[in-house]
Amino acid sequence: MGSQGKDWRNLPNMITMSRLAMAFLLFAMLTLEIRGWGIIGDRHLALNLAALAFILCVATDFIDGYLARRWKMVTAFGRLADTFVDKIVICGTLVYLVHLTPELIRPWFVVIIVAREFLVSGIRSYMESQGIEFGARGGGKLKMVLQSMLIPAVMFKQANEGSGFYPWLLESLDVVTVILFWGTLITTLWSAADYILVATRSSQQQQNSA
Query: How do residues 171-185 score in pLDDT, each as one tens digit?
Result: 888 899 999 999 999
Residue ranges of alpha helices (H) inside the chain are: 11-34, 43-70, 76-100, 107-129, 138-160, 167-209
pLDDT band at 33 (very low <50, low <70, confident <90, very high): confident
In the prediction, which pLDDT does 5 show? 45
Q: What digits encode the pLDDT tens for the residues 72-94?
A: 888 878 888 888 999 999 999 99
Contact 2, 50 (CB under 8 A): no
Q: How far is CA 48 from CA 29, 150, 192, in A?
A: 12, 14, 32
Measured distance CA(67)–CA(171) in Å, rounded: 38
The structural domains of the chain, ordered by start, are 2-200 (1.20.120)
* 47 Cα distance to chain centroid: 18
In the prediction, which pLDDT does 132 show? 80
Closest CA to 204 of 102, 98, 130, 105: 130
Measured distance CA(22)–CA(25) in Å, rounded: 5
Contact 89, 21 (CB under 8 A): no
What letter represents residue 89's amino acid?
A: V
| Class of residue 202 by CB neighbours under 10 A (exposed 0-12, middle 13-18, buried 19+) | middle
Report whether pLDDT(2) > 50.
no
Q: What digits encode the pLDDT tens for the residues 99-147?
A: 988 888 999 999 999 999 999 989 988 888 888 877 778 888 899 999 9
In a 3-state reduction of DSSP, which class is residue 166? coil
Measured distance CA(144)–CA(142) in Å, rounded: 5
Q: What is the average pLDDT across 156-173?
A: 79
pLDDT band at 189 (very low <50, low <70, confident <90, very high): very high
| Burial per residue of 53-82, b for 16 or more beta-carbon CB atoms within 10 angstroms, e otherwise | bbbebbebbeebbebbeeeebbbeebeebb
